[in-house]
Amino acid sequence: MATSRFSAMIHSKCPKCRVGNVFEGAAYGFKKQKMHEHCPHCGLKFEIEPGYFYAAMYVSYAFSVAEVVTLGLATGLLTKSESPWVYVLVLLAAILIFAPFNLRYSRLVLLHYLSPKIIYNPSYQDALKKD
């Protein structure tokens, strides 16, 4: 069965073959997040054109706003605090904790959903099953 687009994105797989990993290593760790330049399975160049991942900033911005608004409201509801420092500390911590997630998934959303030039080719997965 072919991997769904959403499942491939969640597991940070290549948008063309849905087999190769887009990133080296895990999202959370002490090593710097590094992207493969080309897909290790099908050879797709992830940065289609120079500066392509600047567009991921818009996706990352949307993620950040969603996280900050949700956590700000949750903090307000749970603590009922009127001190701005409670919010500053919670949101600052949240921004730092979510940064690796935002970096990774903003690029993956860009590659999987917002890049019409990249088309999924199921034959790469079919070729694996024959081996």
Residues that bind Zn ion (CB under 5 A): 14, 16-17, 20, 39, 41-42, 44
Nearer to Zn ion, 9 or 90 (CB): 9
Q: How far is the CB of 71 from Zn ion (least distance, A)?
A: 35
Contact 123, 19 (CB under 8 A): no
Nearer to Zn ion, 27 or 128 (CB): 128
Q: How far is the CB of 20 from Zn ion (least distance, A)?
A: 4
The DSSP code for 35 is: E
Nearer to Zn ion, 13 or 102 (CB): 13
| Whole-angstrom distance, CA of residue 12 vs CA of residue 108 | 7
Q: How far is the CB of 123 from Zn ion (least distance, A)?
A: 12
| Whole-angstrom distance, CA of residue 109 vs CA of residue 85 | 33
Nearer to Zn ion, 33 or 121 (CB): 121
Q: How far is the CB of 18 from Zn ion (least distance, A)?
A: 7
| The amino acid at 71 | L
| Whole-angstrom distance, CA of residue 113 vs CA of residue 28 | 23
Contact 46, 36 (CB under 8 A): yes
Q: How far is the CB of 17 from Zn ion (least distance, A)?
A: 3
Nearer to Zn ion, 38 or 86 (CB): 38
Residues 6+ apart with CB under 8 A from 77: none
